[in-house]
Amino acid sequence: AQSVTQPDIHITVSEGASLELRCNYSYGATPYLFWYVQSPGQGLQLLLKYFSGDTLVQGIKGFEAEFKRSQSSFNLRKPSVHWSDAAEYFCAVGSGGYNKLIFGAGTRLAVHP
């Protein structure tokens, strides 16, 4: 069955520290992978996506993610976290834009000053 696992429900980091949010997926075909961010009471904003090609993808707000097929992972990273990065982060997998996305449970990020 298709699924997305985000092992960390809640992460707290200090401002300026590096960040890595984990995402593992189970998908039969070649996956389309996404990271979205949701601020409180808001919809989802696309951070980055991977369809094919270079396995290290750059996104907005200084985020990047690396697709590792052998590990079925698509972890999100940021070298230096800002207080404004505090939000909920969702990893999602799909087979294309016209097909439904499967979301992970989300990781809530808190940033300490």
Partner 1 sequence: GAVVSQHPSWVICKSGTSVKIECRSLDFQATTMFWYRQFPKQSLMLMATSNEGSKATYEQGVEKDKFLINHASLTLSTLTVTSAHPEDSSFYICSAVERGRETQYFGPGTRLLVL
- Which residues contact partner 1 (rule: CB under 8 A)? 32, 34, 36, 41-46, 49, 51, 90, 94, 96-98, 100-101, 103-106, 108
Q: Which is nearer to partner 1, 16 or 96 (CB)?
A: 96
Q: Which is nearer to partner 1, 14 or 54 (CB)?
A: 54
CB of 22 to partner 1, least distance (A): 15
Q: Which is nearer to partner 1, 25 or 104 (CB)?
A: 104
Between the two ends of the chain, the Cα-to-Cα distance in Å is: 41
Tokens of 113: 């000053």
CB of 100 to partner 1, least distance (A): 5
CB of 97 to partner 1, least distance (A): 4
CB of 43 to partner 1, least distance (A): 4
66 SS3 class? strand
DSSP E strands: which ranges in the chain? 3-5, 10-14, 19-21, 24-26, 32-38, 44-50, 56-58, 64-68, 73-78, 87-94, 102-103, 107-112
70 SS3 class? helix
Q: Which is nearer to partner 1, 42 or 80 (CB)?
A: 42
